[in-house]
Structure 1
Amino acid sequence: MNANEARDDLAYMRSLVADTEHSQRTFGETYLAAGLCYGVQMVLHGFQSLGWVSSERPVAPLISFGPTVVFVGLLMWILTQRRVPQAPTAVNRAVASVFGSVGLANLVLILLFGSIAWRQHSLLIWLIYPCVVMILQGMAWLVAASLRRRTWMSVVALGFFLTGVGMAFTLEIPPAYVAIAGVGMIAFMAVPGAVMMRQAHRSG
């Protein structure tokens, strides 16, 4: 191995463990926004199932569609902030690919579970879909933990796995199902997002 090859290998190894402030902050902000929006939505659905919040108009549509409207608005704001983009590292590209693939898989699963639930007229079948989403999120975080060698990311992955299993075991108990989903989204989406934002701020 000559000197040039050694330098190239060293640069590659550094890229495997390096994070850019820009990509980490953007990811953290997006995850925090999603966790808060949809976590609060699940909690409100839980309140509806207990009769503490109205399930009639105009409250019900606001709970069903409001969080998505808010999240899309926040996402547009996050993506259009004026930051100087940095060249993505190998790890950033790999992690982004994993989460991007999970997002695409989620869309396919919506069609899969949605079509079956509609044909069978079964809400129970549709409720399995969010459980699977939690498991896929856990898988993505497990890959990220392996690539970035962050123990706390493994904890997040485990949290998503437990959330998905907990939701599956409470499919027929709506208050428990939505409570587990809401707590899981806040604990394993919003909190990790905030952590990544704080880390990016420290390194910036």
Structure 2
Amino acid sequence: MNANSARDDLAFMRALVAAGADSQKTFGEIYAAGGLCYGTQMLLHGGQALGLLSTSAAPSLVIGFGPTVVFLAILAWILGRQTPQVPSAVNRAIGAVFGAVGLANLAMVVIIGSVAWRLHSITVWLIYPCVVMVLQGMAWLVAFMLRRRSWMGVVALGWFLVGIGMAVAIQTIGAYIVVAGIGMVAFMLIPGLMMIRQARQAGG
């Protein structure tokens, strides 16, 4: 290995590290935005359950779809200002897992949603968010296994417990919403903010 080759390798490694920090920051921004949007949605649903907000069709529609519209707008803005990067192998693997979870969620919407519709059962439909939480936990468990960062393992465990807790509370809608809201804030918004902070520290 000559000096030029060593410098090239070093430059490549630095590029990977920088791209890793940028990728983590972008993912953190997206994840924190999701936690904020859907945590707010749970808060609004809680207001409806307590009788503080109207449960009529129009407000329910806004609460049901509004956070997703806002999140998609934020997602488009974040990705729109993204510059092309060379992600590390670990970042690619973690990104692939979370992407697979997203596709699995779509399949679960069709599976559970169709059964709930046929049986006219809201309880069956409420199983879907429980499954989403567990799938999030699975993705974070893979991230923990690849990164070996203890806080990622805590997030994975947290999502598993949130999914189980929601299932336990499934017949008490108020408690179900509270557990979901705690999960969104504790294991989505806060980890997202942590990743943004760590990426800034790595980049700085």
1:128, distance to aligned residue in structure 2 (A)? 0.4
1:85, distance to aligned residue in structure 2 (A)? 3.0
Structure 2 matches for 1:91-102, cutoff 5 A? 91-102=90-101
Partner of 1:30: 30
Q: Tell whether 2:74 aligns with 1:56.
A: no
Structure 2 matches for 1:36-185, cutoff 5 A? 36-81=36-81, 83-185=82-184
The secondary structure found in structure 1 opposite 2:87 is coil
Structure 1: gaps spanning 5 or more residues: none
Partner of 1:189: 188
Letter in 1 for 2:79: L
1:143, distance to aligned residue in structure 2 (A)? 0.5
Contact 1:22 1:85 (C-alpha < 8 Å) held by counterparts = no
The secondary structure found in structure 2 opposite 1:51 is coil
1:55, distance to aligned residue in structure 2 (A)? 1.0
Partner of 1:20: 20
Letter in 2 for 1:91: V
> 1 CA distance for matches of 2:87 and 2:70?
28
Contact 1:21 1:203 (C-alpha < 8 Å) held by counterparts = yes
Contact 1:138 1:160 (C-alpha < 8 Å) held by counterparts = yes
Letter in 2 for 1:167: M
1:57, distance to aligned residue in structure 2 (A)? 4.8
Give the total of aligned pairs: 194
Partner of 1:201: 200
> 1 CA distance for matches of 2:73 and 2:146?
31
> 1 CA distance for matches of 2:83 and 2:58?
42
> 1 CA distance for matches of 2:115 and 2:138?
25
1:172-203 CA distance string (max 9 Å, x none) = 00000011101101110011000001111111
Runs of 4+ in 1 over 3 A off after TM superposition: none
Structure 2: gaps spanning 5 or more residues: none
Letter in 2 for 1:198: R
Contact 1:47 1:175 (C-alpha < 8 Å) held by counterparts = no
The TM-score, its normalising length taken from structure 2, stands at 0.89
1:20-74 CA distance string (max 9 Å, x none) = 1221111000000001101110121111011111112542222111111110110
Q: Percent identity?
A: 56
Letter in 2 for 1:203: A
> 2 CA distance for matches of 1:118 and 1:84?
43
Letter in 1 for 2:201: R
1:84, distance to aligned residue in structure 2 (A)? 3.6
> 1 CA distance for matches of 2:104 and 2:83?
31
Q: CA RMSD in A?
A: 2.1
Letter in 1 for 2:198: Q
1:78-120 CA distance string (max 9 Å, x none) = 0011x44321111011101111111110000000001111111
> 2 CA distance for matches of 1:152 and 1:88?
22
